[in-house]
A and B are shown apart, each in its own frame.
Chain A
Amino acid sequence: MTHDERHAQSTSRLQDYEPIVGKGCIQELKMLAEALSGKVIQTINSTFIGGGVAEILEHMVPLLNQLGVDTRWDVIKGGQEFFEVTKKFHNALHGKNTVTVSPQDFELFMEVSRKNLAEMRFFGDIFFIHDPQPAALIAKKKEIGKKWVWRCHIDLSDPDEQVWNFLRQFVADYDAAIFSAPNFAQKLPIRQFMVTPSIDPLSDKNRELEPDFVESVLRKYGVTSDKPMVVQISRFDRLKDPIGVIEAFEMVRKSVDCQLVLAGGTATDDPESEAVLEEVRKRAEGNPDIHILLIPPESDLEINALQRAATVVVQKSLKEGFGLTISEALWKGKPVVASAVGGIPLQIKDKFTGLLCYTVEGAAYAIKQLLTNPEYAAWLGKNGREYVRQNFLITTQLKNYLLVFLALDRSEDVIYL
């Protein structure tokens, strides 16, 4: 099943990014793409819709093609049971100790992988595989050769040993692995690169919006614009600690009149979301200043509006791959309070581009600081936007992926193209 059959691709054109990132950056991308001409990149993940990976690929694939790099997007097939298993893998790799993965789970994973190996068409010169779900496709390398890159979007800083060892047998056969942060790197016999994920400044989720539209979204969800607004946008997942956010908000609310918006959706590969959402709703019951909003996946403009309406954006994750919502908020010039986990410290340089926290109390203190010092908050927001422009826009990620593909055939530290 190809991407084109399932989902309309992003319509952003490469030249549209020039006013944002500069002419030089676009020229660099073109030169790198030129060096890759003739190669076909086959990128494979588990879903076309929902979650950060699909979101990035949706914008990345058309841009790579516009650059002249022939890139095709495929997804593996897997039923509800398979995704429940891979969700367990995901949690275990994130270091959730409560997860138990049984031998049957591993067997189901292998069975679905074998099925995909048999059914999928492999035609690329470079195979770009995302996350654990399709990782076992590497078995095809023995048969067809070519270059294989495994892109890990998960926080692997403290993975469950059993699951990682199972996965490692596949990863070790790749030519290179890509991680989002330095502490996600593993002991592997292959080259490991660091590529941070990115946001698309022209996507519905990040583009500029009219104030009237922002206002209409607030009205739609019954949120007032009269009070300062603390916002966390993320899918309903325990690792995002929505309960912790409510607790921090309640501490802040004692002395500052403000409201909390917890907004997010669910992904097709995350069966746990519904239960978490229910828990959160229960916890917020009876507090009129807390708004729990279930946003469907295609409501990017609404998410954008909520972020733009925010006074402070929070991301109090317990574990995080990268945390794209941080870059989204920073790009909108918002002051951000976020946990120092996963890839978040890569986006927030404490007290320069945002505030980092470790606890509920720390989060509450930082939120209060920003709500009561709007000038400081604005300064952080301005720095944050600039930092994202330089490092976390889709153009930077595109460049990094092109560089990884180019590095597959070269081992020097300084490469002249």
Chain B
Amino acid sequence: MMYYNVSMFPVLDSLKQNWLLIAVPLLVFLATYIVGLWTRRVAFRAFERWAAKQKWEGYRFISETTRSPFLHWFLILGAFLAVHLSALQPAQKALADRVLASLFIISVTWVSIALSERLLRFYIRKVPRLHSSETLFVNTARITLVVVGVLMVLDVWGAPTTPIVVLLAVVILVVAVSFRDTLTNFISGLQLVQSEQIKVGDYIKLETGEGGYVVDINWKNTHIRSLEGDLIIVPNSRLLGQAVINYGRPLKKASKPFRFYTRVHLKELTGLKAGSLAELATMISQVPESVIYYHTHHFFEEHHFLIPEPANDFALWVSNELGCEVLGEKLASIDAFSFPSINALRARIEAIINDYLAQNPDGHRARPGREFHFIKSVSFVLPTPYIAHDLREFVEALKQVSLGSLFYHVFEARLRLKKGVNDFSLWIEECLGDKDLADRIASLDPYNYTLENLRSTIVQLVEKRIK
């Protein structure tokens, strides 16, 4: 019988002799994998909880994109550890390191590309004007990441990358400087969209006092439609860098918009004059409505800042020039708000003067040169650029229109144009269906306010309603 020292199964022999050198790396590899599984579970749960708390929609992209690669990275780490614990030659280990590092870089690059692509598409779709540029942005990100990945792999394999990096850095710098404003606006636009501080449809007011509804936020500018119908274009970075009042979403739309008109008036001299009370009464009964309207209303425009305001020209004249102070007081206390038409107001003035004349037939005469001169008001009605589609626009426009506009819609509409009520109340009731607010405005006696006070009172009523 012959005994051979040489085993029939050299591999098995070798395993028997070096089993530790093989088992340890294998165990380390398996252990790293298990640690990877556990770490992924813990880390992703923690991340999900944090994302839920932040209410950040982008978390799912990170979660979905990195879930599998996360484990791959642990496998690579396990392999790396195993190689270094193995009995491989140093040169073989170095080669293995390079292979593993390359695999890691490729995996990270792939994950970065997938993640950036999904995040970009997600945010770009929120900004309609960026839709057309979606592919451009995605491809730019892909190229950038691939270039970086390739450079890193080349670096791992010892290839010269410095000149390539310098060249790329220069190109990037030039591009960044050339499109600095665009980039700033783009980033600001993303911030606006992401933070939801300002959304399309919001009514905002800028530091300059300009305001309107946001009609669009694109990658460069935010577009605001002003009350005058103008388009205000504000660069996103500038919008983000200033104090903006955001009033929020539009209110109930009126069935018909309210167009603000203004009225300017010209004084036409009639050449008629009265020197006594009797002449005054006769003239009052004969002159056109526009003359009565002028002498009972022009003070509210011309002396609108004075409190108490002088009532009407007839009252002032009989008091100051004829010395009939009792009659003057009676004429001054006529409540113009209670008359539905100029002729009704005229009749009341006539009645008061005739009553006085019946008791004081002698009357008085004005000094020469101090007669009462009858003036006619010629009104010119002009459309303003201000149009309101809801109460928000209405109140903002009301703050800006001229006093002539306020006068027209409140005084002129009610009495001279015989509408019986002011234009604001008519519109609010008929086109917005808000009878309560309409009645509140209609019940304000405009003859008791200065024009600015009247404006602010109406503004307050409307603002209270839309709060």
Contact = CB atoms under 8 A, between A and B. Distances in A.
A194 B400 contact: no
A188 interface: yes
A187 B268 CA distance: 14
A163 interface: no
B304 interface: yes
A195 B267 CA distance: 7
Contacts of A22: 402
A387 interface: yes
Interface stretch (A5-13, A213-221, A408-416): A408-416
Contacts of B303: 349, 352, 387
Contact of A193 (B268, B290, B369): B268
Contacts of A403: 264-266, 378, 380
Contacts of B262: 24, 27-28
Contacts of A188: 271
B139 interface: no
Contact of B288 (A183, A413, A417): A413
A194 B378 CA distance: 11
B416 A390 contact: no
Contact of A192 (B264, B269, B304): B269
Contacts of A378: none
Contacts of B264: 28, 32, 399, 403
Interface in B380-426: 380-385, 400-405, 416-417
Nearest to A349: B303
B302 A390 contact: yes
Q: Which of B303, B306, B378 has the most CB of A within 10 A?
A: B378
Contacts of A23: 400
A383 interface: yes
Nearest to B228: A27
B433 interface: no
Given A24-B400, A415-B379, A191 B268 contact: yes
B256 interface: no
A116 interface: no
Nearest to A415: B380
Contacts of B404: 24, 28
B268 A32 contact: no
A120 to B, nearest CB: 29
Interface string A265-304: 0000000000000000000000000000000000000000
A25 interface: yes
Interface string B261-281: 010111111110100000000
Contacts of B401: 24
Given A183-B371, A191-B268, A414 B306 contact: no
A24 B405 contact: yes
A28 B402 contact: yes
Interface string A165-207: 0000000000000010011011110011111000000000000
Given A399-B264, A407-B266, A185 B382 contact: no
Interface in A150-169: 157-158
Nearest to A182: B373
Interface residues of B, number: 42
Nearest to B272: A185
A404 interface: yes
Interface string A374-417: 00000000010011001100000001100110110000111111
B46 to A, nearest CB: 57
A414 to B, nearest CB: 5
A218 B345 CA distance: 55
B380 A406 contact: yes
A404 B379 contact: no
Contacts of A404: 266
B75 interface: no
A189 B404 CA distance: 31
B312 interface: no
Q: Which of A27, A193, A195, A386 has the most CB of B within 10 A?
A: A27
A407 B400 contact: no
A417 B269 contact: no
Contact of B403 (A24, A32, A179, A192): A24
Contacts of A349: 303, 306, 310
B402 A390 contact: no
Given A24-B400, A27-B402, A404-B266, A185 B271 contact: yes
B306 A24 contact: no
B376 interface: yes
Contacts of A158: 369
A99 interface: no
Contact of B271 (A192, A195, A399): A192
A417 B383 CA distance: 8
Contacts of B400: 23-24
A31 interface: yes
A414 B369 contact: no
Nearest to A412: B378
A391 B267 contact: no
A183 B381 contact: no
A105 B416 CA distance: 50
B375 interface: yes
B259 to A, nearest CB: 12
A186 B288 contact: no
A158 B375 CA distance: 19
Nearest to B377: A413
A27 B305 contact: no
Contacts of B385: 27
B364 to A, nearest CB: 18
A22 B402 CA distance: 8
Contacts of A194: 267-269, 375
Interface in B81-99: none
Contacts of A412: 378
A27 B401 CA distance: 10
A334 to B, nearest CB: 18
A34 B330 CA distance: 45
Contacts of B290: 413
Interface string B344-383: 0000000000000000000000000101010111111111
A197 to B, nearest CB: 14
Given A28-B402, A183-B373, A390-B304, A414 B271 contact: no
B305 A390 contact: yes
Contacts of A400: 266
29 contacts: A22-B402, A24-B402, A24-B404, A24-B405, A31-B382, A31-B384, A32-B380, A158-B369, A179-B269, A182-B269, A185-B269, A185-B270, A186-B271, A187-B271, A193-B266, A193-B267, A194-B269, A352-B303, A386-B305, A387-B303, A387-B305, A404-B266, A406-B380, A407-B266, A413-B290, A413-B377, A413-B379, A414-B416, A415-B380
Given A194-B267, A194-B375, A413-B290, 8 more contacts: A28-B402, A158-B369, A185-B373, A188-B271, A390-B302, A404-B266, A414-B379, A414-B416
Interface of A: 22-25, 27-28, 31-32, 157-158, 179, 182-183, 185-188, 191-195, 349, 352, 383, 386-387, 390-391, 399-400, 403-404, 406-407, 412-417
Closest 5 CB pairs of A and B: A24-B402, A182-B373, A185-B269, A194-B267, A403-B266
